[in-house]
């Protein structure tokens, strides 16, 4: 099991899916340490890049220890997309460029961005072609099954993406209308894989080694992308990559390991986001890290009030 994206070769192609508010530098460094060979960053607005929005530009920063890394942009015109792609390439802080055609959020869709492009094949093709002309770096696109059940057009759009010259296609097996509900349709990913000659990354509902085995078997995809199952669970990359190498399932983290990684994650957030934002962003991660453990509800309530590193240390000392 291995795949290439442009010049990059991945022996165990289990990637971190892009997640806004989750896959920032801090989490990507942790996922990378746990064996994730390629992390996708949070989606970045092309308009934000165009207007040199400070917070947008901050999101484009990466660290040497997380390379290679994929940076995802979203846009609604070929010119805006090409300009943003070129900016990312020239900055030299990312290795792979990804284009978002999957985000279902109303404010994005209303703007004609994200999964809205699943309704506009000609525009999607024009955007992907413009990006391809603008940059030399490896370039991937992430798309959904379609807009809704009456508009399942991922096959058409994947074919157009291939024609536009993308190096790989990631497919989330849900329509826009489904958001994150129901089960992802892996059969449609299989159909995409059958149709295109570029590598395909399957996405949706992979949470365990058994799921990994099954999604590869059903879809024939070249790689997979893990989203929600990686929230508060970077160990999933250690487990899945180890499983691909050996067929063996590793146990989950011990309480000790969880405590260590929570504090490491917090320290990284403090470093990159500062003393005010860092602990506040850590609250949701801490909640995810402690899913399924004893006294969960009380613990989460305490995490949600934590304001300093010491607060997190005290909670861990008390409960772990």
- Find the catalytic residue in 36, 39, 103, 209: 103
- The piece of 155-163, 220-228, 300-308, 310-318 that touches ligand FMN (CB under 6 A) is 220-228
Instruction: Indicate which single residue of 28, 32, 132, 142 sits in contact with ligand FMN (rule: CB under 6 A).
Output: 142
**Residue 186 or 312: which CB sits closer to ligand FMN?**
186
Query: Does residue 218 interact with ligand FMN by CB under 6 A?
Result: no
Distance, in Å, from the CA atom of 295 to the CA atom of 229, rounded to the nearest integer, reads: 21
Query: Does residue 188 interact with ligand FMN by CB under 6 A?
Result: no
Give the H/E segment covering residue 170.
strand 168-175
Cβ contact 103:43 at 8 Å = yes
DSSP tag of 76: S
Instruction: Indicate which single residue of 25, 45, 62, 100 sits in contact with ligand FMN (rule: CB under 6 A).
Output: 100
Query: Does residue 102 interact with ligand FMN by CB under 6 A?
Result: yes
CB-based contacts of 310, cutoff 8 Å, min separation 6? none
Cβ contact 231:204 at 8 Å = no
Q: How many residues belong to the chain?
A: 320
Instruction: Indicate which single residue of 86, 159, 213, 228 sits in contact with ligand FMN (rule: CB under 6 A).
Output: 228
Distance, in Å, from the CA atom of 134 to the CA atom of 86, rounded to the nearest integer, reads: 6
Count the neighbouring beta carbons within 10 Å of the beta carbon of residue 267. Answer: 15
Query: Does residue 168 interact with ligand FMN by CB under 6 A?
Result: no
Q: Which of 127, 4, 115 is nearest to 68 (CA)?
A: 4
**Residue 189 or 259: which CB sits closer to ligand FMN?**
189
Hunting for tokens 């022996």 — which residue is that?
Answer: 11
Residues from 21 through 60 that contact ligand FMN (CB under 6 A):
21-22, 42-43
- The piece of 24-32, 129-137, 146-154, 226-234 that touches ligand FMN (CB under 6 A) is 226-234
**Residue 51 or 180: which CB sits closer to ligand FMN?**
180
Min dist. Cβ of residue 114 to ligand FMN (A): 8
Query: Does residue 232 interact with ligand FMN by CB under 6 A?
Result: no
Distance, in Å, from the CA atom of 76 to the CA atom of 316, rounded to the nearest integer, reads: 45
Hunting for tokens 């009030």 — which residue is that?
Answer: 305
Catalytic, 36? Answer no
Residues from 253 through 282 that contact ligand FMN (CB under 6 A):
none
Instruction: Indicate which single residue of 229, 250, 263, 313 sits in contact with ligand FMN (rule: CB under 6 A).
Output: 229
Q: Are strands 69-74 and 223-226 parallel, antiparallel or unpaired?
A: unpaired
First to last CA, the chain: 38
- The piece of 20-28, 116-124, 161-169, 303-311 that touches ligand FMN (CB under 6 A) is 20-28
DSSP calls for 225-266: EE-GGGTT-THHHHHHHHHHHHS-PPP---HHHHHHHHHHHH
Query: Does residue 19 interact with ligand FMN by CB under 6 A?
Result: yes
Max intra-chain CA distance, the chain: 57
**Residue 238 or 309: which CB sits closer to ligand FMN?**
238
Q: Which residues bind ligand FMN (CB under 6 A)?
A: 17-22, 42-43, 72, 100, 102-103, 142, 172, 180, 203-206, 226-229
Catalytic residues: 103
């Amino acid at each position: 099991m291995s795949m290439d994206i442009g010049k990059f070769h991945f022996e165990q192609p289990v990637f971190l899916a892009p997640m806004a508010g989750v896959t920032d530098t801090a989490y990507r460094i942790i996922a990378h340490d746990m064996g994730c060979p390629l992390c996708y960053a949070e989606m970045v607005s092309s308009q934000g890049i165009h207007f040199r929005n400070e917070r947008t530009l901050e999101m484009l920063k990466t660290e040497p220890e997380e390379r290679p890394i994929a940076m995802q942009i979203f846009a609604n015109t070929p010119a805006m997309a090409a300009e943003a792609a070129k900016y990312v390439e020239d900055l030299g802080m990312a290795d792979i460029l990804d284009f978002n055609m999957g985000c279902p959020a109303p404010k994005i869709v209303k703007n004609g961005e994200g999964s809205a492009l699943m309704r506009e094949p000609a525009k999607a093709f024009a955007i992907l072609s413009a990006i391809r002309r603008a940059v030399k770096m490896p370039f991937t696109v992430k798309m959904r099954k379609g807009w809704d059940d009456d508009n399942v057009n991922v096959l058409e759009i994947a074919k157009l993406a291939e024609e536009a010259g993308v190096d790989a296609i990631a497919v989330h097996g849900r329509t826009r209308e489904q958001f994150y509900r129901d089960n992802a349709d892996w059969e449609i990913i299989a159909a995409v894989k059958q149709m295109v000659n570029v590598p395909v990354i399957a996405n949706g509902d992979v949470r365990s080694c058994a799921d990994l085995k099954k999604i590869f078997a059903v879809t024939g995809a070249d790689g997979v992308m893990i989203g929600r199952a990686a929230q508060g669970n970077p160990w999933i990359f250690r487990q899945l990559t180890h499983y691909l190498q050996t067929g063996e399932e590793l146990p989950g983290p011990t309480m000790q390991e969880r405590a260590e990684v929570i504090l490491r994650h917090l320290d990284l957030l403090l470093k990159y986001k500062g003393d005010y934002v860092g602990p506040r962003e850590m609250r949701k991660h801490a909640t995810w890290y402690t899913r399924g453990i004893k006294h969960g509800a009380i613990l989460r309530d305490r995490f949600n009030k934590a304001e300093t590193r010491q607060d997190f240390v005290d909670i861990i000392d008390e409960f772990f």
